[in-house]
Structure 1
Amino acid sequence: MKKLIPILLIAVLCFSCYNSQNDKNTSELQNILAEVDSLKKLVQEKATTENGQITTFLTFQEYNAEEAMNFYVNVFENSKILDIRRYGKDSPAKEGAILMARFELNGSQFACSDSYIKHAWNFSPAVSNWVDCASEEEQKRLLARLSEGGNIMMPLDNYGFSTLFAYVEDKFGVYWQLNLD
């Protein structure tokens, strides 16, 4: 049920943008409602097979969810794409964009989508992905790859809470904490 909250929030946002004086808006609303129903069904199907699974969900606003997902799957070992659902021809989003995709990064589940609604918010350094690195070599490799086109917020160093630590924002605006104990 908690997984439905983001979907319902999107539906409420869509309803708030609805203008009942225009037939085109009525058609778009029907498309949005159909997609919300599809998302709810997907979430319910996943909930029955993965009870209690908590998944990090990344919302991309520049139609680059697929690029980001492919990048992460290539950066992290033992990673794979699990499922991709795309927006259709008659959807309010760009055809072929990611409606919802699931992927795994070294055993941790993630999901992502391309939002056709431009939100006032984006990713924040207050929320990040913590990565326990197996070796200094792995940590340096991850830092190098994730910082390509991004920003190193805290360079590799001993900050007292970790033997070696780095904090990086990648080129998509997602934040990563790379830890080595």
Structure 2
Amino acid sequence: MPHRTIPGASGRVRPLVLHGDAVLRARCAEVTDFGPPLARLVDDLFATMYAARGVGLAANQVGEALRVFVFDCPDDEDERHLGHVVNPTLVTADGVTVRGPEGCLSLPGLEAGTERFDHAVVEGVDVLGEPVRIDGTGFFARCLQHESDHLDGGLYVDRVTGWRAHRVRRAVARGRWRG
């Protein structure tokens, strides 16, 4: 059996960027250098995501304004999806709209019912520049949409509507990560 490395095993846990930091609101830059620094970033993202007990993490959440995210996320059938994508494009977000609980490592302790499509497809490349296509349903589709939003400067709280939006705005205003 070939030796496989565990994502994040040699990565460094980085501090998370919290709501209010400008890097979370800017569109991230396309990755153009596919050398060792990119591989280290991906490994650091995995290590940081695992340490924070998340299911996805975008590079700007550790202060790197690059179009990269990692995930280790189940779908609604509890199938595990593990990977990363560089220069992702959300090419499909469709199906039924589902309101479900959503949180973010950059807004610790806050969660709100957020509407997302139950199907999403992301295309991009891996750390070697090889094409990848990630197709997700259910909770995993929510994760793909959430991380794609991050790379465009969006946060899930931007998508919360109605009375939930009012509640989230109040919670953000009281939070230690105001911005």
Q: Which has the larger radius of gyration?
A: 1
TM-score of the pair, normalised by structure 1:
0.26
Higher helix share: 1
| TM-score normalised to structure 2 length | 0.26
* Structure with higher RCO (Cα < 8 A, 6+ apart): 2
